[in-house]
Amino acid sequence: MKKVGIAILGLGVVGGGTYEILRDHREFYKKTQDVDLEVVSVLELRRDRIEALGIPEENVASNIAEVVSNPDVNIVVEVMGGVGKAREFVLDALNAGKTVVTSNKELVCKYSHELERAAKRHNAGLYFEASCVGGVPIIRTLLDGVQANHISSMMGIINGTTNYILTKMTNDGASYLDVLKEAQSLGYAEADPTADVEGFDAAYKLSILSSLAFHTKVPFSKIFREGITTVTQDDIAYGKELGYCLKLLAIGKQTEEGIEVRVHPAFIKKEHPLASVNDSFNAVYLTGDAVDDVMLYGRGAGALPTGSAIVSDIIYAATHSENKYSTFKNNATAEKDVKFVSNFKSAYYLRLTVNDEAGMLAKIAAVFGKQDISIQEMVQKENAQDGKATLVLVTHATRELSLRSAVSKIASLGIATVDSVLRVVS
C-alpha cells in the first residue's frame, strides 16, 4: 500500500478540520482508496491549537525549511490564508518538489501563474478545489466532469456570508447593519467584512472558475464588482412584491462578443433554482452545450466542508501519478486576443423618488426612450412625505452604459432622485 506523508501549514478552523478528517478517516482511506495518508508535520505558531488536536511533539515543525526538507513529506497543505507568507511558503514547497494543496482563493487568483510555473519545473502538483465554494466539488466537476462541453455560462452564489445576510434581510425583514452584526457574532462574517460584503471574495473565486470553465486566463481585474452594502430593506420588499429574490451573484458568460464576468447583487425570479439557496449555503449553475444545465449545491464554508475538499485533493494527488495543469496559457494577464465585455446587457430594477404630479412618468419615460430602454414592470406608491411618490421600474434588457447614461440624465434634470439601481437576471 502506498504511504503518503502530509504536512499542514496552519491549524486554524480549516486546518484543524483537515487534520481531524485525515486522522479520523485514515483506516477508511486505506480500505477504500488503497492509500495510507499520515500527517507527519504541522507548522503552527499557536501551541493551544496543537495541544487541542493532540498532535505529537515530534510532528511539530519550527519553520518552513524544516517542512520542505523533510523526506517523509510528499504533500503540503496550505491553509494559512493571505498572500504574504502563504505565497512564500507554497513556492518553497513547490521548489522542493512537494505537491501543494491549498484553500487560498486570493493566492490562487492572483498568483496561480507563478505557482504553476514552479510546480511544472519541479514536477509537483498544485491543487485548489477548496479555494472555491467550500465543500462543493465545482473545480473537480469543471476539470473531470463536464470537460466534454463548451461551457457557455455559469452563475452562482459563491459567498456564504453575503447569502446569509441577504437571506435574513429577506425572511426576517431586518436591516443590513443589524444582520451584519449578527453574522459577525455567529462567526459568518469577519470583524472587517469588506472582502465578503464588497464582493472581493466572490470575484477571486469567479476569476478562478471562469478561467477553468472558458479555458483562458480571466484576471481579477476584468471582473465587474459591486457589493451589498447599499442594499436596503425597501428594495428587498419591492422585489418580493414583483416576484423576485435578491442574491449576490457571480456571473460568467462566453459569448460571441467575448467573455463577460461580473459580481453584484441581482434580482432573480423566485422560481429560479438559485432563489432557494439560503443562509450560508452556496450553489453554482452551469450550462454546457452537450449536458445543458447542471447545478451543484452545498456548504460553501466551514471546517469540515472545506476540509472535505482539501482531503479530496490530497487523495487525488496521492492516487494519480501524473500531475494536471491548466488547459490554457496561465499568465499574469489575459491573452491579447481574448475580448472582455464591459458594456454587458441586463434588465434593471430602479427605485426613484418623484414629485407626485401629472406628466412626471412621461418625462422619465422620455429619458429612457432616448437610450432605447423600455419598461417591463412598474409600481408607484405614495410616500408619507407630502407631494412625493416612490416609483419602482423594471426594464427590459439593455446595455449597462445606456442605463447609467439614463440615470445620470434623470439626476441632472432634477425630475427625480434615483435611490437604487439593481440588476435583474432571467
Domain ranges of the chain: 2-131, 140-298, 345-425
pLDDT at 187: 81
CATH class for the region spanning 140-298: alpha beta
The C-alpha atoms of residue 87 and residue 75 are separated, in whole angstroms, by 16
∠ Cα 85 91 95 (to 5°): 145
Distance CA 45, CA 394 (A): 54
The pLDDT score that the predictor gives to residue 357 is: 81
The grid coordinates of residue 38 equal 499520515
Residue 263 is given by DSSP the state E
State the DSSP code for 59: G
What is the rounded end-to-end Cα distance, in angstroms, of the chain? 52
Q: Quote the pLDDT of residue 384.
A: 66
Q: What is the pLDDT of residue 334?
A: 97
Mean per-residue pLDDT of the chain: 96
Q: pLDDT at position 386, please?
A: 76
Q: Which three cell numbers stand for residue 67?
A: 517542512
Spatial CA neighbour of 212 closest among 145, 159, 264:
145
User: What pLDDT was estimated at residue 156?
Assistant: 97
Instruction: Count CA atoms closer than 13 A to 208's CA, side-chain side.
Output: 27
Angle of helix 400-413 relative to helix 360-370, nearest 10 degrees, comes to 140
Low-confidence ranges of the chain (pLDDT < 70): 384-385
The residue type of 215 is H
Distance CA 166, CA 282 (A): 13
The CATH H-level superfamily of 345-425 is ACT domain (3.30.70.260)
CA distance 137 to 130: 8
- How far apart CA 70 and CA 65 sit, in angstroms, is 8
Beta bridge partners of 394: 349, 377
C-alpha cell at 124: 509537483
Kindly list the catalytic residues: 205
- What span, in angstroms and rounded, lies between the C-alpha atoms of 88 and 86? 5
Cell 471574495: give the residue: 201
Number of other residues whose CB lies within 10 A of the CB of residue 267? 28
Superfamily of domain 2-131: NAD(P)-binding Rossmann-like Domain (3.40.50.720)
Give the orientation angle of helix 26-33 with respect to helix 13-24, to 10 degrees.
60
